[in-house]
């Protein structure tokens, strides 16, 4: 295979995957705190295994929410669809170990005399956008999410009763001269009803894979791999333990861009692991939407207790139509990249996070209630005007 042609693969996991069950519970707890008090501080971690869930972490918010954590967890598990032997919203034990936020951390990040609070931790966060798809996302991860999301929608609506909640997908695309041109292979593993055999599951999965692909892209029969180990009836936390924050590449760009290492779920928007990753995507997407580049990678770096980022890096990966240092300066003039500035720009103090816990935090449509606000391209007109470029559709 020549240097100008290659294969690239990304994976997704469903909302019923053990780790995603934990992400969902952590974000549901976060949403409950933000509903009761938008200024709550939450760092919530979840572990799930056979008929057991443990929830731990630090919070500062209304005590009545802490008292409802078991109910919140059961509601999340029920919505995902777990009512099976070994893991059920009705029977699983729920242990609540949430406690008050550390006073040492609080004094470093609370609002100071200038109306700014410091970053909740040191760290690096990345945002990325590219022209591979209308959503300005890398195509492999977007297609992998699409397969599982449509399978889950039909499972939960009752249209398709053969699927269980736990599933994984993997999409391999062929690239030529930097552009995806065809699908090479698709792998789907899905929990299924007891009575279904391997071939029956394959035939249930096939139309979802076909529908997810762009027009003209077909997966050959030999390259569609479904439940390669055979039977997959026992699934979810009964089949494998789950933890919050273990699917960070699934959550972002499927490996097409760097990742800072910090997970998102269960963290309130004062935590830059989450909010700065969101604003980095927002800025990168607007750069691409403005026609300034076909690809844009942005890195932000923070120090605990310090409001402003210690570094901002813009890389258009050889596709830029303007100087990268100039773009970086312009972006910092347009958006204040402190924890408070990010929250204000993206209106993040809302209960909008449980919906992010599966099928990706990026590449989703902005919602009327403020969900996925970091997917807006409302800076693109001004960026295009400043640099004299033509906007692209997004």
Q: Are 280 and 126 in contact (CB under 8 A)?
A: yes
What kind and span of H or E run contains 106? helix 103-109
Q: Respond yes or no: is residue 168 known to be catalytic.
A: yes
Write the burial class of residue 159 (CB in 10 Å: 0-12 exposed, 13-18 middle, 19+ buried). exposed
Q: Respond yes or no: is residue 247 known to be catalytic.
A: yes
Q: Is the pLDDT of residue 68 over 60?
A: yes
> Which of 234, 259, 291 is the last residue in one of the domains?
234
**Residue 259 maps to a domain:** no
227 and 278 within one domain: no
pLDDT tens for each residue of 274-301: 999 999 999 999 999 999 999 999 999 9
363 and 340 within one domain: yes
* Catalytic pick among 41, 146, 149, 267: 267
Q: Which pLDDT value is given to residue 1? A: 42
Q: Annotated binding site for L-methionine: which residue ranges?
A: 58, 101, 240, 271
285 and 192 within one domain: no
Q: Respond yes or no: is residue 45 known to be catalytic.
A: yes
pLDDT tens for each residue of 22-48: 999 999 999 999 999 999 999 999 999
Look-up of token digits 């059961």: 74
Q: Respond yes or no: is residue 271 known to be catalytic.
A: yes
* Catalytic pick among 41, 192, 247, 281: 247
Q: Are 363 and 375 in contact (CB under 8 A)?
A: yes
- Residue 234 burial (CB count, 10 A): 16
Assign 264 to helix, strand or coil: coil
The conformational region for residue 9 under phi > 0 = left, psi -120 to 50 = alpha, else beta, is beta
Q: Respond yes or no: is residue 206 known to be catalytic.
A: no
225 and 152 within one domain: yes
Tell me the CATH number at 363. Answer: 3.30.300.10
* Catalytic pick among 246, 285, 361, 364: 246
The two three-digit tokens of residue 275, written as one number: 């909010």
**Residue 102 maps to a domain:** no
**Residue 262 maps to a domain:** no
What residues form DSSP beta bridges with 41?
Answer: 60
**Residue 110 maps to a domain:** no
222 and 322 within one domain: no
**Residue 213 maps to a domain:** yes
297 and 207 within one domain: no
Dihedral sign for Cα atoms in the order 344, 108, 54, 10:
positive
Instruction: Record the pTM.
Output: 0.95
> Which of 234, 256, 280 is the last residue in one of the domains?
234
Nearest to 79 by CA among 265, 354, 371: 354
**Residue 218 maps to a domain:** yes
Assign 38 to helix, strand or coil: coil
Number of domains in the chain: 2
379 and 280 within one domain: yes
**Residue 365 maps to a domain:** yes
Q: Is the pLDDT of residue 69 over 50?
A: yes
Q: Respond yes or no: is residue 267 known to be catalytic.
A: yes
Q: What is the DSSP string of 161-218?
A: -SEEEEEEEEEEEEEETTEEEEEEEEEEEEEE-TT--HHHHHHHHHHHHHHHSPTT--
148 and 127 within one domain: no
Q: Respond yes or no: is residue 273 known to be catalytic.
A: yes
303 and 211 within one domain: no
pLDDT tens for each residue of 141-163: 999 999 999 999 999 999 999 99
Range of the domain at 379: 123-131+271-387
Give me the half-sphere count of Cα atoms (radius 13 Å) on the Cβ side of residue 366: 15
Q: Annotated binding site for ATP: which residue ranges?
A: 17, 166-168, 231-232, 240, 246-247, 263, 267
Nearest to 285 by CA among 111, 87, 133: 133
332 and 293 within one domain: yes
Q: Which pLDDT value is given to residue 328? A: 98
**Residue 344 maps to a domain:** yes
Q: Is the pLDDT of residue 87 over 70?
A: yes
Q: Which pLDDT value is given to residue 121? A: 84
288 and 208 within one domain: no
127 and 171 within one domain: no
> Which of 234, 252, 284 is the last residue in one of the domains?
234
pLDDT tens for each residue of 314-323: 999 999 999 9
């Amino acid at each position: 295979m020549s240097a100008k042609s290659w294969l690239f693969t990304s994976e997704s996991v469903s909302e019923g995957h053990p780790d995603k069950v934990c992400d969902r519970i952590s974000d549901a707890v976060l949403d409950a705190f933000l509903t009761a008090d938008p200024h709550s501080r939450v760092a919530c971690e979840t572990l799930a295994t056979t008929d057991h869930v443990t929830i731990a972490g630090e919070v500062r918010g209304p005590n009545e929410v802490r008292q409802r954590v078991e109910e919140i967890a059961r509601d999340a598990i029920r919505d995902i669809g777990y009512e099976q032997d070994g893991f059920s919203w009705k029977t699983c034990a729920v242990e609540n170990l949430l406690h008050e936020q550390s006073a040492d951390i609080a004094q470093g990040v609370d609002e100071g005399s200038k109306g700014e609070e410091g970053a909740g931790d040191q760290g690096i966060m990345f945002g990325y956008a590219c022209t591979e798809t209308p959503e300005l996302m890398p195509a492999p991860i977007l297609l992998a999410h699409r397969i599982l999301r449509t399978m889950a929608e039909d499972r939960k609506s009752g249209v398709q009763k053969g699927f269980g909640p736990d599933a994984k997908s993997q999409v391999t695309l062929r690239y030529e001269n930097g552009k995806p041109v065809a699908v090479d292979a698709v792998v789907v593993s899905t929990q299924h009803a007891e009575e279904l055999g391997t071939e029956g599951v394959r035939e249930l999965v096939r139309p979802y894979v076909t529908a997810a692909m762009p027009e003209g892209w077909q997966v050959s029969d030999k390259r569609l791999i479904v439940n390669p180990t055979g039977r997959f009836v026992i699934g979810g936390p009964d089949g494998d333990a789950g933890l919050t924050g273990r699917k960070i590449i699934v959550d972002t760009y499927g490996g097409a861009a760097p990742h800072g290492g910090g997970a998102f779920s269960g963290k309130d928007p004062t935590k830059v692991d989450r909010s700065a990753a969101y604003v980095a995507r927002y800025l990168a997407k607007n750069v691409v939407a403005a026609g300034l580049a076909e690809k844009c990678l942005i890195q932000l770096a923070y120090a605990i207790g310090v409001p402003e980022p210690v570094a901002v890096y813009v890389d258009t990966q050889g596709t830029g139509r303007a100087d990268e240092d100039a773009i970086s300066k312009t972006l910092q003039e347009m958006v204040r990249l402190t924890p408070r500035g990010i929250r204000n720009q993206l209106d993040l103090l809302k209960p909008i996070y449980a919906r992010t816990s599966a099928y990706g935090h990026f590449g989703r449509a902005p919602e009327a209630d403020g969900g996925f606000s970091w997917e807006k391209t409302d800076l693109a007109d001004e960026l295009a005007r400043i640099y004299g470029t033509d906007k692209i559709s997004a």
